[in-house]
A and B are shown apart, each in its own frame.
Chain A
């Protein structure tokens, strides 16, 4: 399952970041998004726009196609 499969407001654990673009992965890890962390999908923007997620109390916004590279459980 990937992050974008979650229903808004639902939580999951990040399991896989290896599919991501290297630069972006680095940035997300710096921001505290890494494997084993709990993530909550807050909302999605229309027309395939970005998604807003919360990880350890911090809201982060990233594009949907990139969020789709994050494996969760």
Chain B
């Protein structure tokens, strides 16, 4: 099957278009760098495969996600390019279009966001653009899917249009191109002219690609000669600049022919909102307020009442029904215990927190889709700069609130390798949704009247610890040479309800599915460990294997205020997935429902030790999936072990200071 590659500037709607082309539901958002890895789908009419790639401004990658796109161009086979172009940003977008056209493969332009351009008072002559570039141009609305059918037809049409776009770069450069083309090896689908041009422009990936095949010395000397020639005419000039300038002139000419400005741009509501949320003094308070409202809704106002209803259902009707059903089947006591005390307690104990998780995900989806995300990066940059990171690092951190794994992946958009590494290492300190059930359980038991506030304080604790460690690491381990920060601020968009729901569901689905699969398995295993002991079956819980395993940790944990084997056992299992901490507690304490569990826990925890426990769970070790992703993204075992090691140390220190400090202050 032939393969079509989707290229375009960041945040022009590539993934939206991809979803509409293939009928899939990939993750979309309104900021630059949502897609950091290539994604493959089958075109709706089953005739070709489509590859979605991270957005790029040009073919010179500056960050890791951009490298994915350039590498694809150089190394993977594909038959055509679909270039998505933002109509309201034509001037900038067409630079990439020219570079892609020079690549020589058949190309179709999908002109997106015509509606936005029209709102800005632009009228675009689509046929004229098509004439200028000698390629088909199809207007689409990627978000709604308008124009997609026509696009599919054009892309898979049997008569392949010939690609015959060339732009002349003036005598000196053209001569150099000719010379370089002679040196290049036989083509393998890549245009020699394109290779020569990219080399002259100084594209590092192309240099690396050529290095493996030919001797670079003659090429480099050709480039130096041209460079000197250009400097003779203009002392501050460079090849890159002149190439850019020629493209710019060409684009300006195209735009003159194709765009008519109907009226002056009106004062948009993006500007009005920005005047408030990126206000000098209100910026950070507004962000904190948004977070606070998020937690109030998640815990106090909406989430907890819903969770209580669900809990009542699990502990009442569901348990009764299952128990009657099992009796009718003549099940043994063993099986009854397994199902009621193992599975229902373990899986149900996590599932009751689904409402909270969904509300949290709804807010994160809203952040992603509205365009506020990039503003948060901007508002936070000053703070981040002072600790040796940049504002962009805040975006992976917010994503990390949902799940740390995609957060670690999102760090790819950070240009500096060191800043990226630092962000990856600190990301596990962001409190992910899997830790939410643990908080929900404990605040329900010990901090009934201040639930949201206590949880909010934990999230803030995670962020503050991350920032302090960033400062520490960036001044010792990972000294930064020069930090840069540039980010594009997309216009605000009212998130469509459907998109919002879909991205919330996509995130939440993982949680529900995990409950049915892994948590189920974990609950059975934990229950079995608590049922079997050195003394045989059905031993008292304190003599079980689980108690023996957890007991090893108990003395170490005693200074933190929770030196029981129960706490030890649940922390060990929590490494696999943090929700399991809650399942384990439910099973260990044999609770029928959350209310009795919370009552029982009062024997083992005090409010102070409960808070210390929550802080420990927040910080102690990234879950298995995150650890594996860190290893993959940093390509180093050293950093993986480092991320586990420092987290354990810091968790111990913080939990210790909370507990001992709290005792000194007279809390209990």
Complex contact flag A–B (Cβ < 8 Å): yes
Give the B-binding residues of A (Cβ under 8 A).
Answer: 18, 21, 23-24, 26-32, 34, 42-50, 52, 56-63, 66
Check A31–B486 contact: CB distance below 8 A.
yes
Select one of B60, B283, B378 contacting A26, CB under 8 A. B60
Select one of A26, A50, A62, A66 contacting B62, CB under 8 A. A26
Q: Does B95 make an interface contact (CB < 8 A)?
A: yes
Query: In the complex, A18 Cα to B482 Cα: how many Å?
Result: 17
Check B382–A45 contact: CB distance below 8 A.
yes
Q: Does B83 make an interface contact (CB < 8 A)?
A: no
**Which residues of chain B in 370-427 are interfacial with respect to chain A, using CB atoms and an 8 Å cutoff?**
374, 377-379, 381-382, 385, 391, 415
Knowing A46-B281, A50-B391, say if A59 contacts B379 (CB, 8 Å): no
Contact-size category for B: 35 or more
Question: B142: shortest Cβ distance to chain A, in Å?
Answer: 18
Contacts of B38 in A (CB 8 A): none
Select one of A42, A46, A52 contacting B382, CB under 8 A. A46
Knowing A45-B278, A52-B278, say if A59 contacts B488 (CB, 8 Å): yes
Check A50–B485 contact: CB distance below 8 A.
yes
Query: In the complex, A62 Cα to B377 Cα: how many Å?
Result: 11
Check B415–A23 contact: CB distance below 8 A.
yes
Question: A50: shortest Cβ distance to chain B, in Å?
Answer: 5
Select one of A18, A23, A60 contacting B487, CB under 8 A. A60
The interface bits of chain B over 101-145 (1 if a CB of A lies within 8 angstroms of the residue's CB, else 0) are: 000000000000000000010000000000000000000000000
List the 5 closest pairs (A to B, CB-CB), nearest first: A30-B57, A49-B382, A59-B489, A32-B92, A61-B378
What are 20 A-B residue pairs whose CB atoms fall within 8 Å in the complex?
A: A21-B484, A23-B62, A27-B415, A28-B486, A30-B95, A32-B92, A43-B275, A46-B382, A49-B381, A50-B391, A56-B92, A58-B488, A59-B270, A59-B274, A59-B491, A61-B374, A61-B377, A61-B391, A61-B486, A63-B485
Check A48–B486 contact: CB distance below 8 A.
no
Known: A43-B274, A56-B92, A61-B485. 16 other contacts (CB 8 A): A24-B484, A30-B60, A34-B248, A42-B274, A45-B378, A45-B382, A49-B385, A57-B89, A57-B265, A59-B270, A61-B378, A61-B381, A61-B391, A61-B489, A66-B484, A66-B486
Q: Does B514 make an interface contact (CB < 8 A)?
A: no
Question: B159: shortest Cβ distance to chain A, in Å?
Answer: 35
Contacts of A50 in B (CB 8 A): 378, 381-382, 391, 485
Contacts of A48 in B (CB 8 A): 382
Check A63–B381 contact: CB distance below 8 A.
yes
Q: Does B64 make an interface contact (CB < 8 A)?
A: no
Contacts of A62 in B (CB 8 A): 485-487
Query: In the complex, A27 Cα to B58 Cα: how many Å?
Result: 9
Check A57–B378 contact: CB distance below 8 A.
no
Find the A residue at minimum CB distance from B122: A57
Question: B115: shortest Cβ distance to chain A, in Å?
Answer: 15
Contacts of A32 in B (CB 8 A): 89, 91-92
Query: In the complex, A62 Cα to B485 Cα: how many Å?
Result: 6
Contacts of B377 in A (CB 8 A): 61
Check B379–A45 contact: CB distance below 8 A.
yes
Among B58, B274, B283, B487, chain A packs the most CB atoms within 10 A around the CB of B487
Select one of A24, A34, A42, A63 contacting B385, CB under 8 A. A63
Contacts of B236 in A (CB 8 A): 18
